[in-house]
Amino acid sequence: MTPTETLLLDRLTAGRDHLANLASAAHEERLADLLRRVDGAIGALETGRWGTCCVCRQPLAPDQLAQDPLLQVCLECLTPEARRALERDLETAGRVQRALLPAPFTRCGGWEVAHLWEPKGAVSGDHVDFIRPLRPGDPLHLLLGDVAGKGVAASLLQAHLHALFRALAPAGQPLPDLLAQANGLFAQATLTTSYATLAALRLASDGEAELANAGHTQPLLADAQGVRPVAGGGLPLGLFPDSVFPRQDLAFRPGQTLLLYTDGWTEGTKDEEEFGVGRAAAALGQSFHLPLPELLAACRAALDRFLEGAPRQDDLTLVAVRWTGEA
């Protein structure tokens, strides 16, 4: 047994005893079913069958196994009924996740903020949120994150990030402290292999802004003079409990627009060639003067033109923020 498997066996055995107690008390059919699946996984670990499909004996996909260590049947061997149940679950999860999204376009003080959120499948590992101040005059928080991995596991961690920042941001601590606190909690609550990149902005009511970047793509700042990346930042959230997150101060001039994006935009690939930051910056340069929802649509369309129908490989989220100067 590998060290990971030994660790998993310990955790499953402990969880199994807990479940057995619950199930006998409540006679819950679902709990009993879960108990059968845990027993199955423990048996498979003990006999060296864990990680292979019990129907066709082929290895299970590692990413699916990482999401669900109780998995015993590959997708191809699922019954049509089980497959439909899985699809229904995914659709519901997608609806739950959509309900967490902020409005696509928001005005707050002299700021305009817009986003475009497109999961590749039913759910997304991209995290976008605008957190309005409790008191007028306090800063607005804007967050864009990208959880490592894909699918349901990534979407669960996205929901976790959503709750963390909703709970922590209104206290109004400096941005590096906010990220440090969120990082510590995220690292504690997730597997050692889980992490998320994140860019956080605090927008003050006078056009001043703070930016802290936890390993996320470099935002692009656009105005009539051109488009330039805003460099700098720290490590992703969740990797090390004591990471530090440097802060950068930005003073927006009226009309200046900052674009945050997940790598689903710049890393869109056709014939092994990436869309890339160069094309992304060019698309923004041509559209920075447009109203924000149109700007985002134009940036998205530039990727589509590049892909020429080739499928997108990742979730994609764009967020644009503009200082109007009319506080």
End-to-end CA distance of the chain: 63
The contact mask relative to Zn ion for 10-49 (x = CB under 5 A, - = no) is ----------------------------------------
Closer residue to Zn ion in complex, CB, 81/308: 81
**In the complex, least distance from residue 285 CB atom to Zn ion, rounded to whole angstroms:** 50
Closer residue to Zn ion in complex, CB, 55/251: 55
Q: Are 316 and 265 in contact (CB under 8 A)?
A: yes
74 binds Zn ion (CB under 5 A): yes
Inter-helix orientation angle 29-46/3-26, to 10°: 150
Q: Are 234 and 280 in contact (CB under 8 A)?
A: no
**In the complex, least distance from residue 58 CB atom to Zn ion, rounded to whole angstroms:** 5
C-alpha triplet 193, 216, 230: angle, nearest 5°:
160
Place of tokens 């800063």: 139
Closer residue to Zn ion in complex, CB, 34/77: 77
Determine the Cα–Cα distance for residues 268 and 200; give it in Å rounded to an integer.
Answer: 23
**In the complex, least distance from residue 60 CB atom to Zn ion, rounded to whole angstroms:** 8
**In the complex, least distance from residue 295 CB atom to Zn ion, rounded to whole angstroms:** 47
CB atoms within 10 A of CB 305: 10
Determine the interface stretch with Zn ion among 25-33, 67-75, 227-235, 244-252 (rule: CB under 5 A). 67-75
Q: Are 75 and 46 in contact (CB under 8 A)?
A: no
Contact with Zn ion (CB under 5 A) among 20, 77, 290, 298: 77
Determine the interface stretch with Zn ion among 33-41, 75-83, 87-95, 125-133 (rule: CB under 5 A). 75-83
Looking at the DSSP bridge assignments, the partners of residue 198 are 145, 214
Considering only residues 45 through 64, tell me which ones interact with Zn ion, judged by CB under 5 A: 53, 55-56
**In the complex, least distance from residue 65 CB atom to Zn ion, rounded to whole angstroms:** 13
**In the complex, least distance from residue 252 CB atom to Zn ion, rounded to whole angstroms:** 55
Identify which of 149, 194, 141 has the alpha carbon closest to the alpha carbon of residue 167.
141
Determine the interface stretch with Zn ion among 73-81, 240-248, 290-298, 313-321 (rule: CB under 5 A). 73-81
Determine the Cα–Cα distance for residues 155 and 44; give it in Å rounded to an integer.
Answer: 28
Q: How many residues in the shown chain lie near Zn ion by CB under 5 A? A: 5
Q: Which helix (H) or strand (E) holds 208?
A: strand 208-214
164 binds Zn ion (CB under 5 A): no
Closer residue to Zn ion in complex, CB, 60/222: 60
Closer residue to Zn ion in complex, CB, 64/181: 64
230 binds Zn ion (CB under 5 A): no
Name the 3-class secondary structure at 238: coil
- The pair phi, psi for residue 23, each rounded to 5°, is -65, -40
Q: Which residues bind Zn ion (CB under 5 A)?
A: 53, 55-56, 74, 77
